Amino acid sequence: MKDIVIIGSGVTGSAVARELSCYRAKIVVLERGNDVSVGTTKANSGIVHAGFDAVPGTKKAKYNVAGNAMFDELSKELDFPFRRNGSMVLCFDENERSGLEELYERGVANGVTGLSLISGEEARRMEPYVSEKTVAALYAKTGGIVSPYEMAIAYAENAAVNGAEFLFGHTVESIERTEKGFRVTCANGAAFETKAIVNCAGVHADDVNNMICPEKIEITPRKGDYMLLDKACGYLCNSTLFQLPTKMGKGVLVTPTTHGNILIGPTSTDREGKEDVNTTVEELAQAFEKALITMPTLSKRNIITQFSGLRAHNPGGDFIVGESSVKGFYNAAGIESPGLTAAPAIAVDLATQVASALALEKKDDFNPVRKGIPQFSHLSDEERQKLIDQDPLYGKVVCRCETVTEGEIVNSIRRPLGAKDLDGIKRRTRAGMGRCQAGFCTPRLMEILARELGCDLAEVTKCGGRSQIVTGRTK
């Protein structure tokens, strides 16, 4: 008998698992993918929103502002990349200036601090590459950027170290009420008796909710395409640059990432399928054209990759957070933007609710601190030398574009909830994420992974499932 089954190990599920892992409880996280953070969490803008966008009084507003305030401490405690770089909403039309003021008012109503309305000149002084057509901007000092998958991985690792069990390849198929709680059955036949369930299933949260709740919900997968630019373009902006939504649409953002690339996107298209993450020619073109409005000097030559992700959109508009009408079944559904920012606050809130309902006691040996993988490329030569003295594998550079060493790669595989495939290594270490996009390091990474996992090279996958890199031996 489990105390809590958490469904989904994106940033929300992983955060909930971590916040619950400070209690004496049997926690299991069921993840359909091969790794944590393989859905919406791995493919979004990576923005820590200030909180001026959400309508006052909504859950989005509340959790956004509360979540934002947690990032400084949290990112230190869990050792994930976060930077408070500030954000700007740019207005390119005198007639739409009032839209900025509305956002400002909304921010104030939501309790956002550090907001200011600035002139076009001031915006360009701070961000010299934004369009000369900028007439005014809303600047938010508390805006930030985070590496979303590294944040989720950090949460999950810390939860695992504190006793939460993570099971991958477990797709929940049915939930039944039992005398003491629920019975959760997975497609692979595994079944779990549990007292409580927390539904953090992202774009599938409606399916999970509707297995047990009489109040049906619907989640629309809303796709966004992105393009990532070479680090050589990192000088183009420091703040996150939004466009003021206009009659013409919501616009796209141009932002630095925590690793120094420039990210542009996302587009917004409602999709039928929850696996429909293919980028399209039209949307990629649209993302780029819209980004040119913010920054006319952007060049397609500097694009190194494209990706897309699905927002878990609730047509009702707000997050669905809390206990449902079925006692013991909790939802964290419709967690679209500002969901990443909100996740830490949602997790604390849900964990508190569940713990109180189950009368859980706090552990005295809970360790809130997680130490990430040493990042060779960020270290001084002295620190590098020290690391190599301890483990010579840190002296072998495998990914030349991002200067990732074999030491880091081995670390990413061996640590709790370690990488099992090339994408897992990439999210944990950045190997393969640079300008050659794994052209050189793929064979080396395959060798290391096969060696560490004790499997044949032919069994190594890109992202689990049937994504083997090679089809077999040569003749």
118 SS3 class: strand
User: Shortest Cβ distance from residue 376 to other proteins (Å)?
Assistant: 8
Q: At what angle do helices 97-110 and 59-78 cross, to 10 degrees?
A: 70
* Catalytic status, residue 170: no
Assess 473 for contact with other proteins (CB under 8 A).
yes
- Give the whole-angstrom CA distance, residue 219 versus residue 158: 29
Provide the 10 A C-beta neighbour count for residue 131.
Answer: 20
Sole binder of other proteins in the list 179, 272, 275, 364 (CB under 8 A): 275
Q: What secondary structure does DSSP assign to 166-216, as a single string?
A: EESS--EEEEEE-SSSEEEEETTS-EEEEEEEEE--GGGHHHHHHTT-SS-
Sole binder of other proteins in the list 436, 452, 453, 459 (CB under 8 A): 436
Residue 358 amino acid letter: L
- Give the whole-angstrom CA distance, residue 9 versus residue 34: 10
Assess 431 for contact with other proteins (CB under 8 A).
no
Assess 466 for contact with other proteins (CB under 8 A).
yes
User: Shortest Cβ distance from residue 108 to other proteins (Å)?
Assistant: 41
Residue whose token pair is 């609730």: 314
Assess 440 for contact with other proteins (CB under 8 A).
yes
Assess 397 for contact with other proteins (CB under 8 A).
yes
- How is residue 202 written in tokens? 């992202």
Sole binder of other proteins in the list 185, 238, 375, 403 (CB under 8 A): 403
Which of these ranges, 192-200, 270-278, 344-352, 367-375, lies near other proteins under the rule CB under 8 A?
270-278
Which of these ranges, 127-135, 152-160, 239-247, 462-470, lies near other proteins under the rule CB under 8 A?
462-470
Assess 299 for contact with other proteins (CB under 8 A).
no
Distance of CA 109 to the CA centre of its chain: 27
Instruction: Select 210 or 437, whichever has its Cβ closest to other proteins.
Output: 437
Assess 272 for contact with other proteins (CB under 8 A).
no
Residue 67 exposure: Cα atoms within 13 Å on the Cβ side: 30
User: Shortest Cβ distance from residue 460 to other proteins (Å)?
Assistant: 10
User: Shortest Cβ distance from residue 266 to other proteins (Å)?
Assistant: 14
- Give the whole-angstrom CA distance, residue 87 versus residue 48: 9
Instruction: Select 281 or 359, whichever has its Cβ closest to other proteins.
Output: 281
- Give the whole-angstrom CA distance, residue 427 versus residue 378: 16
Sole binder of other proteins in the list 109, 117, 393, 453 (CB under 8 A): 393
- Give the whole-angstrom CA distance, residue 15 versus residue 349: 11
Distance of CA 367 to the CA centre of its chain: 23
**Which parts of this chain interact with other proteins (CB under 8 A)?**
227-228, 232, 275, 277-281, 283-284, 300-301, 303-307, 381, 384-385, 388-389, 392-393, 395-397, 400, 403, 405, 435-440, 442-443, 446-447, 457-458, 461-475
